[in-house]
Every structure is written in C-alpha cells, then in structure tokens.
Amino acid sequence: MVNFIAKIDKKISSEFEKTGYIIKPSVNLKSLEKIRSIFIKSIKRSIKINYKLKDSEIFNSIHKVIKPKELNNFRLKIIEDINRNKKIRKLYFDLAKPYLEVLVGNELAMQLRINLSIQLPGDSSSLLPVHSDVWSGDSPFEIVVWVPLVDCYATKTMYILPPNKIKKMNKVFLKSGKKSSDAIFNSIKQHVKWLNVKYGQILLFNQTLPHGNIVNSEKETRWSMNCRFKSVFTPYRDKKLGEFFEPITLRKISQLAINYNLPKLK
C-alpha cells in the first residue's frame, strides 16, 4: 500500500499502534490553564460551604470538603456547568489538535459534551470496571482524548490492556461465562499497563482496547476529563452525528459536496 505520511507522523502512528495509546505534552498550555480556571469557578459555584482550599490544591484535596455520598451529584453539577461554557470544547480541541490530525484526520467530529471523572481516595463508588467502549455501542473509528487536571499515577490513574494481549483477553471471555468483571480483571491484571499522565500532558487512547480503573489508594483525588473524536465520514454506531457528535473541522470541498445537487434533466 502506498503511504505518503511524513516520517514524524509515521512514528507517532507506530507508537499508537504498538501500545494502544500515546502520552504527549499538551500543545497549548494556555488553553489548559483556561480550562482549569473554568473548573475552579465551577467548583466554587457548586460548593455551598465556605472552605479553605487554595486554588492550587483544590483538585487534589477536594475530598476534604466532598464526601463520597455527595460525589456523584457534585460531579454532575460540574459537568453541566462547564459544558455551558461555549469556549471549553474549542479549548479542549486545541490541546490535542496535531495529534488528532495525525491519528484520525483533519475533518473531525467531536463529542458534544466534555466528560469528567473524579475519584476520591478510598472511594469505590466511582469505578469503571474493565470494559471496551465498542462493547456498549461506540464506533471503533473513535479515539478518546483524556486530559488530567492533576498528576495521575499508580492507582490514581487508568489502565489499558496492550494490543498484543488481546488474544489473552478473548480467551478469558470465552471461558468466563457469567463471571464478574472483577474476575475477568483479576485474570488479566498482570498484563495491563498503568498510565502515568502528569498535569500538562494528554493521553490519546484506542478505546476498543479493554481499560478501566480501580479504587484510588493514593492520598489525593483524581480529576480527569475525556472526550471522543472521530473522522466525520466514518461509520457511526449508537452515538450518531448530530446527537452525540458534531463536525468541527469540515473542509470547504466537503461542505460544498454535501450541499451539491445534480441538475435535473427534463
């Protein structure tokens, strides 16, 4: 197959294919700081009590003012609030634009809403058991851009099963029957890769690969955003264009072609 992709792009693509992910510096730190400021303002609006956390520690230490039983309502309030900001999706896209163009293309559709995960230390109520997004209706043409608001490491991060271990996972599925996701994870946990992603870095990963998290055993809270992107003219599954995605970088010839009508012959 002919391939005219530049060498640097091939290198990034090869890394992604081999590992199932890439971790790179955010290409626009100003956009990341603006996103962080949007979150800080939203947190202060969502918490009705007077707390003494500094802005610099508000993310890592939010467990000091939010209890596990309050977490889900708090998280949903934050998600609703930040997504009212019309600038946040463009700021988010700016963090990963060149990597998305290498791995996905330059005519992109983006998820309509930014998602948020918060994991308090020792809290088991906000876990994502081992799963692949395509198992529940996502298109294999999607990629996830995962952005931490804190340093994520050890149990304060997510794991992913490398592509070269998929056969192992498939064998587990065949033998698992009605076993729980915990049992499935325990059978593959020696093969998963724990992803160390610092604040200021972004993670792009192949969401067809099994991934998830476990109880955060660190002393700090995890905050991470996620959003899906795909090439506009690729197949959609349950999450449709206009309902879940919208085009964000449609090129002129595509716009013209969509609106073109053949002349009618009499």
pLDDT at 188: 85
What CATH number does residue 27 fall under? 2.60.120.620
Assess if residue 263 is contained within a domain: no
Domain count, the chain: 1
Q: Residue written as tokens 């058991």?
A: 129
Instruction: Determine contact, residues 219/144, Cβ cutoff 8 Å.
Output: no
Length of the chain: 266
> Strands 159-160 and 211-212, how do they pair?
antiparallel
pLDDT at 3: 82
**Alpha-carbon gap, residue 254 to 158, rounded angstroms:** 37
Instruction: Determine contact, residues 29/13, Cβ cutoff 8 Å.
Output: no
pLDDT at 266: 77
Assess if residue 71 is contained within a domain: yes
Assess if residue 128 is contained within a domain: yes
pLDDT at 178: 54
Could you please report the per-residue DSSP string of 57-84?
GTTTTGGGT--HHHHHHHHHHHHHHHTT
Could you please report the per-residue DSSP string of 157-225?
S-EE--GGGHHHHHHHHHHHTT--HHHHHHHHTTT-EE--B-BTEEEEE-TTS-EE-----SSS-EEEE
Domain that holds residue 66: 9-231
β-bridge mates for residue 186, sequence order = none
Instruction: Determine contact, residues 20/162, Cβ cutoff 8 Å.
Output: yes
Q: SS3 for 142?
A: coil
Render each residue's pLDDT in the chain as its tens digit; 266 residues.
778 889 999 999 999 999 999 999 999 999 999 999 999 999 999 987 667 788 889 999 999 999 999 999 999 999 999 999 999 999 999 999 999 999 999 999 999 999 999 999 999 988 989 988 998 889 999 999 999 999 999 999 999 999 999 876 766 665 655 567 777 788 888 999 999 999 999 999 999 999 999 999 999 999 999 999 999 999 999 999 999 999 999 999 999 999 999 988 87
* Cβ neighbour number for residue 115 with a 10 Å cutoff: 15
Backbone dihedral angles phi then psi of residue 134, each to the nearest 5 degrees? -70, -20
pLDDT at 62: 96
Angle, alpha carbons 18-19-22 (nearest 5°): 115
pLDDT at 179: 65
**Alpha-carbon gap, residue 246 to 229, rounded angstroms:** 10
Assess if residue 73 is contained within a domain: yes
pTM here is: 0.94
Assess if residue 237 is contained within a domain: no
Instruction: Determine contact, residues 25/201, Cβ cutoff 8 Å.
Output: yes
